[in-house]
Copies of this chain bind each other. A is one copy, B any other.
């Protein structure tokens, strides 16, 4: 019977193996890896239960023995790529540097697996690799003299801000990719629309910004670091 209703809702609270009956043919790691492979190759929309089952080589419904619901598959996927954090070296003692190190890795992971940002919000954040990451973070913040709750807030805000930032980056990058014509053409249409709206006079301050020639916003990496530095400073103003 698939998806028993007296099971915990969180997949991590389910033991992977109960010890009774035949040995499961696949591991959670196998399944996660397969799903990640599909998402990397063909995008998140290509990740269906059927497709993942086919990828690991079992029947569609057999997959439900391992993954009771689709969202649990998301859990596995996010945990799997969270394993890409390199936390082998212990924190340096400079918590700002350590948090920056962590944030840069988070951004790198999200760039390597763009689909992560789409499913991250539906994930519980208590998967093994999430806890591993949190623990390293707490170690890094040992020297920071703030209440424990604030450390969790810091962790959450850094993660959230990185996600928001990358989501914006992706949105900008995506703008044209799906256009039937070239990206430039679509960008031009957007620009023309915006210019038209501004020209109506309904948005005077936005018009002023445009007239002033809004900054070319420079390097994305620089903007990212600036954002991050601001955020960290806000927790311990010097």
- A152 proximity list for chain B (CB < 8 A): 209, 214, 217
Whole-angstrom distance between the Cβ of A68 and the nearest chain B Cβ: 12
Docked pose: A218 CA to B149 CA in angstroms: 9
> Are A203's CB and B165's CB within 8 A?
no
- A109 contacts the other chain (CB 8 A): no
Q: How far is the CB of A18 from chain B (nearest CB, A)?
A: 15
Shortest beta-carbon distance from A113 to chain B in Å: 16
What copy number does this chain have within its complex? 2
> Closest Cβ of chain B: how far from A44's Cβ, in Å?
12
Binding site for B on A (CB under 8 A): 5-6, 8-10, 12-13, 117-118, 121-122, 124, 126, 128, 131-132, 134-136, 138-139, 142, 147-149, 151-153, 156-157, 160-161, 163-165, 167-168, 171, 175, 178-180, 186, 189-190, 192-194, 197, 202-206, 208-209, 212, 214-215, 217-218, 223, 226-227, 230-231, 233-235, 237
Q: Once the chains bind, are B157 and A164 in contact (CB under 8 Å)?
A: yes
Complex contacts, A167 vs chain B, CB 8 Å: 121, 160
A171–B218 Cα gap in the complex (Å)?
35
Check A147–B12 contact: CB distance below 8 A.
no
- What is the chain B residue whose CB lies nearest that of A135? B203
Given A138-B209, A193-B10, check contact A230 B223 (CB 8 Å): no
The residue that A126 contacts in the complex, of B5, B121, B193, B214, with Cβ under 8 A, is: B193
Contacts A8-B189, A193-B12, A205-B142 given; indicate if A214 touches B149 (C-beta within 8 A): yes
CA distance A190 to B9 in the complex (A): 9
Is the beta-carbon distance between A205 and B132 smaller than 8 angstroms? no
Q: Which residues of B contact A208 (CB under 8 A)?
A: 138
